[in-house]
Structure 1
């Protein structure tokens, strides 16, 4: 660059004389040669001082032109001073217009070279072999900024912008042609598009669901960039481009968390989470530490899971965290953890949740889910814990599998503890929060589908007409905490899961989001197939959140409902538990399973509220 600048300045000086004298070959004198040599000698140190050689040409900002003008102006003025001194010494006269022409030509050459080089480096001469042609969906300022950020970065080449507004069609935005969204299919074929990036800031909220539905069936990869307000300093960062997550297709409305409820439940409290290393437990821990608790007790049976969540939380900040390795079925360990640390709030998330595995291991499932809950809830009652929240499941409603039955038993146990606390006039709250599947949790169908798609398929579904409720893990954790803050004791809270999702549709959408076609009778030669393997033991075709939806009552939070709870005082829970325990000790799986379902089958009539004094 220095060599080029020296040559450019010499050429600018020669051209200045040529223009002024109207002759291509001005006479060469010793004075002119000296002045020609002094021009770069004066200019280069100025350029160095003003940072013209520190800039990376590829990322040279437009504002750099002002630095170049300033540098040339200082260099020219310095050169004029030398001319003046030479004239004073009688060393010849330089025409007065030459310095002015030298400044103009030098600025054009020095600045023009840099910006021309930037254009070549960033744009090249067109689409390179290693670049994939893409469209950006959206035609607002955010989309234009994203297109500029992508130019020359990585292997994406922006072919144009897609927009729904007819007023923008055919126009150029930031040098990119805006196309109609109605022509997407033909445009993809014409330009060989491999990917569409959704600039979510450019797409109105009311249109996003329709846009997602439109682009997912095109057989190409769909990715998105978060709202510009979500990124640091409002700048687009290309690494923030991500795959569309399946929860964005579920159409769930988002309700901001009630900070008052979160603070009421957590701030300044000593909180304990059982199953702290699991999907729900770990997300609860992440939420809890952000609300500044007095102390957080991580209770977990898996050494690796406990280590992983502890290290994650410690890396995120200096939080008061105490890891406790132990099982919820061990009363001494549970009692010591609660008593030693003075636990005030307890979230009981520890459970075996995988339906087929629990179905194949009935005794362990009952021991952990039923008697583990009994152990923790009993000790919580004895230690006068302020709030106990059980993490339940939609499978607890009219259960057909062991996992669901154990969760219903856990609900009954927690409600029984609420009755006992109420009878003793203790200011203790026991409640349960019931919801469906969380996307991405351990054992969830979504990670399984992703793995199968990554391997090229087939995607296995038990029954395409099976429906399930889905919710994002962070949203579930926030609602669990808020539900606990709303409890008056003995409540079973139901989280609004939206509309149930058909598993067959879920599989098809995930295949399309990955950029593949679904292989079926209409498309037998390419794509990823969906294979139906039949229902597994204990699986229901559809899940329910309510015994009777008409009995659900709203709360102050629009996403949380309160189920009318069954008055179970007439049932001798202790006697039933004793019989089940005897069956477990005897290793009688058949009898244990029979007893497990016997009470909850009899208890099936609609839930009615516990009376509070």
Structure 2
């Protein structure tokens, strides 16, 4: 008792010092719902610091308190501190947990990333981790972070038995090919599937594990690895140049603009006839261009107007033009033949002539696989545009004229992806024109990079195509998107499903499948996945004749004359007679 009385003055002193120590360590700043391993470590550090400070203080004052007292005190402080927080955390979760709104989550991958993700998800009020699934049979039956690990072979049964609503793939260290294969397999599951980015993506970004979760991208479902188009010659070709992009407000044109800003160009001019599209892309890029020291200009105008195009090239002191402006929506061009043909063919001739007159170095035409043996007016107009460029390339060394031909672009305006997404959000049905329709797909960055590479590889008159792997069935794509949205497919086998796929019949001019090549003569390029096609072209006189006939047909709105131009000059065409006037 005497020892306690003589040391009574130390208690207020130790309490004050302890409060400062605990605050300095940061223990009070840890959110109770997020108290886990890091918080326990801080609690241990605080306990050791308090015990050591007690021993230090007693050594400085003449008191007879046993040193073991402070060792016991430190241990008790640690036990009480950790226990109180964990119990309080559990009570809070029980008080505020609403099992009816918390989605039940299965984490695919019981490694370090999966364990950290499950722990983080457990602290949220929106989801509840239920179990792990892993490919490694050695992990099956173990407990990780308080959750059981189940073999991947039993994933479908696990989802049903445990009422799983969401699967989160947490294998960021896996190769991209393995991740894509896994995501394609999981897309058939009757629940929503999210993916954690690769470690490289996580390191490049600033988001934590939970914030980085994202729905499976359709890029993962292409059926092939994305083509690596990061080559130094791209930047070398465009560095220090003044570049004009026509159709700069479109899907491809805007992505071209974004990528060119990373190539060290001197001046970028955005040319488009849509005021809103031009305003949007200029607003998006202005800050980036300013930071990179690149002059950015926006010019409203039509590619069919020689004065507007010429003035644009003069003002910009243009050296390279990327011609992406075109009407590309097949049904609309099919029912507006004169406007579509005139814009796509005559507009290309106007821009090409301006490039020739102003002494530009390079001209790259963005074309489409629908130009190969076309069955619609849009594809035919793009083939005629190619013929215009091939003719100019045969007669002029500069500019270096080249063309880029690729398939459907995932997520571009007018493509099936936004249409399917909108139909799914409305509750369906998702409409597909034919059960056997297939298309080649590529991503917007792949398409834009291919255009830029064409400018690097151009020798004059080239048609560049990208090896895009096997074509994708549109009906399979529709069903995959339904499953990825967290809905179920309604069909004969599952009449109670959420959304059905409805076959509507081929539209006028629509093909069952697309091709990328007219002939079989192919040449290689420095890139293994990019090929150069050598195709037949028309004579200068033939091109001049169809351009003259096109001008007359456009002025009179003569649909039959338009179709006759196609029949006479587009090889392999299968265009039906127009049933009505344009």
Common fold, TM-score beyond 0.5? yes
Q: Which residue of the partner structure matches residue 201 of structure 1? A: 172
Question: How far did 1:123 drift?
Answer: 8.9
Equivalent position of 2:54 in the other structure: 76
Q: Structure 1 residues 230, 460: closer, same or farther in 2, change over 3 A?
A: same
Once the two structures are superposed, what CA deviation does each residue of 1:206-262 show, in whole Å capped at 9, x if it has no partner?
Answer: 533442333222211111111022114787431221111223122222332242221
Distance 1:97 1:236 in 2: 43
Matching residue of 1:132: 103
Q: Is the 8 Å Cα contact of residues 437 and 471 (structure 1) preserved in structure 2?
A: yes
Q: Aligned partners of 2:406, 2:445: CA distance in 1, in Å?
A: 13
Q: Report Cα offsets for 1:359-381 as digits up to 9, x if no partner.
A: 11111101210111010001101
In structure 2, C-alpha distance between the alignment counterparts of 1:204 and 1:178, rounded to whole Å: 22
Contact 2:34 2:123 in 1 (8 A): no
Given the superposition, is the C-alpha separation of residues 139 and 49 from structure 1 closer, same or farther in structure 2, using an over 3 Å criterion? closer
Runs of 4 or more, structure 1, over 6 Å off, are 26-29, 122-127
Q: Where does residue 580 of structure 1 map in the other structure?
A: 550
Q: Is the 8 A contact 1:149 1:236 kept in 2?
A: no
Q: Is the 8 A contact 1:146 1:236 kept in 2?
A: no
Q: 1:475 to 1:123 in 2, by over 3 A?
A: farther
Whether 1:560 and 2:513 are equivalent positions in the alignment is no
For residue 54 of structure 1, report the CA deviation from its aligned partner.
Answer: 3.4
How far residue 346 of structure 1 moved from its aligned partner, in angstroms, is 0.8
2:25–2:42 CA contact under 8 A, matched in 1: no
Equivalent residue for 1:546?
A: 517
Q: Which residue of 2 is the match for residue 448 of structure 1?
A: 419
Q: Which residue in 2 is equivalent to 1:486? A: 457
Match for residue 18 of structure 1?
none
Shift of 1:574: 1.1
The alignment of Structure 1 onto Structure 2 pairs a total of residues equal to 567
CA contact (8 A) 1:580 1:596 kept: no
Deviations 1:488-523 (A, max 9, x none): 001111122211111111111111222222211111
Aligned to 1:240, what secondary structure does the other structure show? coil
Q: What is the CA–CA distance in structure 2 between the aligned matches of 1:272 and 1:556, rounded to whole Å?
A: 26
Cα contact 1:483–1:560 (8 A) shared by 2: no
Find the partner of 1:375 among 342, 350, 360: 350
Aligned to 1:611: none
Q: Residue 458 of structure 1 contacts residue 531 of structure 1 at CA under 8 Å; is this kept in 2? A: yes
Q: How does 1:213-224 map to 2 (within 5 A)?
A: 213-224=184-195
8 Å contact 1:47–1:53 — kept in the other structure?
yes
The answer as to whether partners of 2:134 and 2:140 remain within 8 angstroms in 1 is: yes
- 1:255 to 2:227 alignment: yes
Aligned partners of 1:126 and 1:167: how far apart in 2?
33
Contact residue 404 and residue 465 of structure 2 kept, 8 A: yes
Distance 1:99 1:496, change over 3 A: closer
1:286 aligns with 2:258: yes
For 1:97 and 1:173, the matched residues in 2 are separated by 37
- Relative to structure 1, the CA distance from residue 435 to residue 49 in structure 2 (aligned partners, 3 Å threshold; closer, same or farther) is closer
State the alpha-carbon separation in 2 of the partners of residues 213 and 29 from structure 1. Answer: 71
User: For the residues of structure 2 that align with 1:52 and 1:143, how far apart are their CA atoms?
Assistant: 26
Distance 1:104 1:221, change over 3 A: closer
Q: Distance in 2 between matches of 1:362 and 1:110?
A: 77
Higher mean C-alpha deviation, range 159-168 or range 61-70 = 61-70
Paired with 2:56 and 2:172, the residues of 1 have a C-alpha distance of 50
Change (3 A) 1:282 1:205: closer
Q: Judging changes above 3 Å, is the alpha-carbon distance between structure 1 residues 42 and 381 closer, same or farther for their aligned structure 2 residues?
A: closer
Structure 1, unaligned stretches of length 5 or more? 1-25, 88-92, 605-613
Kindly state the Cα deviation for residue 298 of structure 1 after the two structures are TM-superposed: 0.4
Q: Give the greater-gyration-radius structure (CA).
A: 1
Judging changes above 3 Å, is the alpha-carbon distance between structure 1 residues 354 and 200 closer, same or farther for their aligned structure 2 residues? farther
RMSD: 2.6
The residue that corresponds to 2:328 in the other structure is: 353
Counterparts of residues 175-190 of structure 1 (less than 5 Å): 175-190=146-161
Contact 1:134 1:195 (C-alpha < 8 Å) held by counterparts = yes
Question: Does the Cα contact within 8 Å between 2:133 and 2:151 map onto a contact in 1?
Answer: yes
1:398 aligns with 2:368: no
The CA distance in 1 between the partners of 2:379 and 2:25, in whole Å, is 72
Q: Distance in 1 between matches of 2:240 and 2:247?
A: 22
Aligned equivalent of 2:244: 272
Q: Displacement of 1:483 after TM fit?
A: 1.8
- Residue 396 of structure 2 aligns to a residue whose secondary structure is helix
Q: Deviations over 1:458-499 (max 9, x none)?
A: 001111211111110011111111122111001111122211
CA–CA separation in structure 2 for the residues paired with 1:570 and 1:268: 34
| Partner residue, 2:120 | 149
Separation in structure 1 between the aligned mates of residue 537 and residue 228 of structure 2, nearest angstrom: 34
CA-CA distance at 1:411 after TM superposition? 0.1
Indicate if the aligned counterparts of 1:519 and 1:526 stay in contact, CA closer than 8 A.
yes
Q: In the alignment, what sits opposite 1:468? A: 439
SS of the equivalent of 1:582 reads helix
Contact 2:490/2:500, CA 8 A, preserved across alignment: yes
Contact 1:298 1:323 in 2 (8 A): yes
Contact 2:48–2:74 (8 Å) recurs in 1: no
Q: How far off its partner does 1:399 sit?
A: 1.1
Task: Answer whether contact 1:127 1:157 (CA < 8 A) is retained.
Answer: no
TM-score using structure 1 length: 0.86
Indicate the residue corresponding to 2:505 in structure 1: 534
Aligned to 1:429: 400
Give the structure 2 partner of residue 15 of structure 1.
none
CA contact (8 A) 2:375 2:573 kept: no
- The answer as to whether partners of 2:43 and 2:81 remain within 8 angstroms in 1 is no
Deviations 1:9-57 (A, max 9, x none): xxxxxxxxxxxxxxxxx89986576555554344334434444433434
What is the match of residue 313 of structure 2? 338
CA distance in 2, matches of 1:306, 1:534: 36
Question: Is the CA contact (8 Å cut-off) linking 1:46 and 1:74 kept in structure 2?
Answer: no
- For 1:36 and 1:576, the matched residues in 2 are separated by 101
| Contact 1:200–1:225, Cα closer than 8 Å, also in 2 | yes
- Residue correspondence of structure 1 range 8-27 to structure 2 within 5 A: none
Change (3 A) 1:45 1:217: closer
The aligned residue for residue 313 of structure 1 is 285
CA distance in structure 2 between the aligned counterparts of 1:399 and 1:603, rounded to whole angstroms: 5
Distance in 1 of aligned mates of 2:18 and 2:111: 43
State whether residues 107 and 131 of structure 2, in contact with CA within 8 Å, keep that contact through their aligned partners in structure 1: yes
**Unaligned 5+ runs, structure 2:** 575-582
